[in-house]
Chains A and B, each alone.
Chain A
Amino acid sequence: MTEAPVIEPVIEVQDLVTHFGDRIILKGITLAVRPGEILVIMGGSGSGKSTLLNHLLGLLVPTSGRVHILGQDINRISGQALSELRQKTGVAFQGGALFSSMSVLDNIMLPLIEHTHLDRMTMEIMARMKMEVVSLAGFDALMPAELSGGMIKRAALARAIVMDPRILFCDEPSAGLDPVVAAQIDDLILLLRDAMQMSVVVVTHELESAFKIADRICVLDQGEVLALGTVEEIRANPNTRIQNLLNRRIEEAELDPEEYLRRLTGQSSTKEGP
Chain B
Amino acid sequence: MDKVGRATAEGVAEVGLAGTLLFQALGWTLWGWRRRQPVRLSAVFVQGMEVGIKALPIVTILSVTIGAMLAIQGIYSLSAFGAESQVTLGVALSVTREFAPLITGILVAGRSGSALAARLGTMKINQEIDALVVMGINPVRFLVAPALLGTLVMLPALTIWADFIALLGAGMYVSVELGMSLSAYTDELISLLKVNDVLHGLGKSALFAVLIVLVGVVNGASVTGGAEGVGRMTTRSVVHAISAIVITDMIFAFVLTRS
Contact = CB atoms under 8 A, between A and B. Distances in A.
Report if A and B associate in a common complex: yes
Interface of A: 57-59, 79-80, 82-87, 89, 91, 93-95, 97-101, 110-111, 114-115, 169
Given A100-B122, A114-B136, 15 more contacts: A58-B133, A58-B134, A83-B37, A86-B135, A86-B136, A87-B136, A93-B130, A97-B127, A97-B131, A98-B128, A100-B128, A101-B119, A110-B135, A111-B137, A114-B137
B133 A59 contact: yes
A89 B134 CA distance: 8
A100 B126 contact: yes
Given A80-B35, A83-B37, A100-B122, A114 B135 contact: yes
Interface in B131-185: 131, 133-138, 142
A6 B127 CA distance: 37
B130 A84 contact: no
B128 A59 contact: no
A111 B130 contact: no
17 contacts: A57-B130, A57-B134, A59-B133, A83-B138, A84-B136, A86-B133, A86-B136, A89-B134, A91-B131, A91-B135, A97-B126, A99-B131, A111-B135, A111-B136, A114-B136, A115-B36, A169-B134
Given A83-B136, A115-B136, A97 B130 contact: yes
A97 B135 CA distance: 12
A59 B130 contact: yes
A168 B192 CA distance: 68
Contacts of A58: 133-134
B134 A91 contact: yes
Given A83-B138, A100-B126, A114 B37 contact: yes
Contacts of A59: 130, 133-134
Contacts of B130: 57, 59, 93, 97
Nearest to A116: B36
Contacts of B123: 99
A98 B126 CA distance: 8
A112 to B, nearest CB: 10
A111 B135 CA distance: 7
Nearest to B46: A101
B116 to A, nearest CB: 13
A58 B35 CA distance: 20
A143 to B, nearest CB: 14
Contacts of B36: 115
B127 A93 contact: yes
A97 B128 contact: yes
Contacts, number: 59
A78 B83 CA distance: 68
A248 B35 CA distance: 50
Given A80-B35, A83-B37, A114-B37, A99 B137 contact: no
B142 to A, nearest CB: 8
B136 A93 contact: no
Q: Which 5 pairs show the lowest CB-CB distances between chains A and B? A: A86-B136, A97-B131, A83-B136, A97-B127, A91-B134
Nearest to B141: A114
B117 to A, nearest CB: 15
Among B36, B127, B131, B138, chain A packs the most CB atoms within 10 A around the CB of B131
Contacts of A115: 36, 136
B137 A93 contact: no
Nearest to A83: B136
Contacts of A57: 130, 133-134
A12 B36 CA distance: 29
Given A80-B35, A114-B37, A95 B127 contact: yes
Contacts of A110: 135, 137
Contacts of B131: 91, 93, 97, 99
Contacts of A93: 127, 130-131
A200 to B, nearest CB: 15
A95 B135 contact: no
A211 to B, nearest CB: 27
A97 B128 CA distance: 5
Among B122, B123, B133, chain A packs the most CB atoms within 10 A around the CB of B133
Contacts of A84: 136
B25 to A, nearest CB: 15
Contacts of B133: 57-59, 86
A94 B136 contact: no
Nearest to A82: B136
Nearest to A171: B127
A85 B135 CA distance: 9
Nearest to B131: A97
Contacts of A98: 128
A79 B138 CA distance: 10
Contacts of A87: 135-136
A110 B128 CA distance: 13
A85 B136 CA distance: 8
